[in-house]
Amino acid sequence: MSESDAPMCRFETIVLATDGSEFSESAENVALDLAQRCGARLIVARIIRTDTQHDALSPPRSHEASVAGQTDLDALEKRAREVGIDASMILRHGVDRHQEIVAIAEEFKAGLIVIGRRDRGDLSRLMVGDATRKVVGLAPCNVMIVPRGAQAPHRGLLVGTDGSDLGDQAARAAIELAGYCKLPITIVSVAVPGQNEERRQEGVQAIQRLQGEAREKGLEADATFEEGRPEVTLLEVAARDHRDLVVVGSHGRTGLKRLLMGSVSERVIGGADCPVLVVKNV
């Protein structure tokens, strides 16, 4: 796929999905930072989960949740406007939070959804929650998942590519965002042990080509070819090179389209201590 054929990562409109908990605080900070850097419109979505039977039995509790949600949105709107961000607040009720988030992204033609990641137990930490998986899988745009305590990128970006079309799209999205943020970028291809030479060469050629594209845009760009388990190696290289945003495609070359998200991207999200941008083939 040529550069002209690949859809660019749009940052004109960003949807921030927040539930007002401590797991959303970092996502809120990252979304505000990105909207300011990119000059983007920010849509802040607060979804109050609807339980028809429970709400009918306890309407005061439903009302209290709505009031608390609106109070949180008012505070976020104030923060956004203080730094010059064009922000809109949306409070909705719905049975499935992920469906409402996806619907809002579709309604506003968003280029990016930012959502927090809930901490999980040690045995399941590498697998993201069902709601997050569904947002990533069903979203009409790219999705950034932010773990608790993470900050907006200020050291650099790392993007993994396997030489596929979606790998190229992920890299070009990372290059575009690195340009907005004025940050260096590392482009990585990881060969699985035993991979045939043709595939290895495709990875080498991909990172060299994409490194050239990044440098043509005036970015500081490194390219590295590694061997190992992709989900582990990408995070190791990010730590080694001090990169605090990781970018991956939603599926690898062999990803099954019937799945909401590929296993490598899901495990990178689950294992990362920094934000992860998942680039969709949309």
Range of the domain at 129: 13-147
Q: Cα(91)–Cα(40) distance, rounded to whole angstroms?
A: 20
The residue type found at 171 is A
Are both 129 and 203 inside the same structural domain? no
Are both 184 and 253 inside the same structural domain? yes
Q: Cα(85)–Cα(8) distance, rounded to whole angstroms?
A: 22
Structural domain ending residue among the three candidates 147, 173, 200: 147
Convert the pLDDT of each residue in 137-185 to its tens digit. 899 999 999 999 999 999 999 999 988 888 999 999 999 999 999 999 9
Instruction: Supply the CATH number for residue 250's domain.
Output: 3.40.50.620
Convert the pLDDT of each residue in 185-215 to its tens digit. 999 999 988 888 988 999 999 999 999 999 9
**Is the pLDDT score of 132 beyond 90?**
no
Q: Do 177 and 277 touch, CB atoms closer than 8 A? A: yes
Are both 141 and 161 inside the same structural domain? no
Q: Locate the DSSP E strands across the chain.
A: 13-18, 41-49, 87-94, 112-117, 142-147, 157-160, 185-191, 221-227, 245-249, 276-279
Counting the structural domains of the chain, the total is 2
Work out the end-to-end distance of the chain between its first and last CA atoms, rounded to an integer number of angstroms: 14
Residue 262: inside a domain: yes
Convert the pLDDT of each residue in 30-74 to its tens digit. 999 999 999 999 999 999 988 655 555 556 677 788 899 999 999
Burial class (CB in 10 A: 0-12, 13-18, 19+), 182: exposed
Give the angle 127-265-238 at the CA atoms, nearest 5°. 105
Are both 21 and 140 inside the same structural domain? yes
Helix axis angle for 197-216 and 165-181, nearest 10°, is 30
Both structure tokens of 46: 């607060």
Residue 4: inside a domain: no
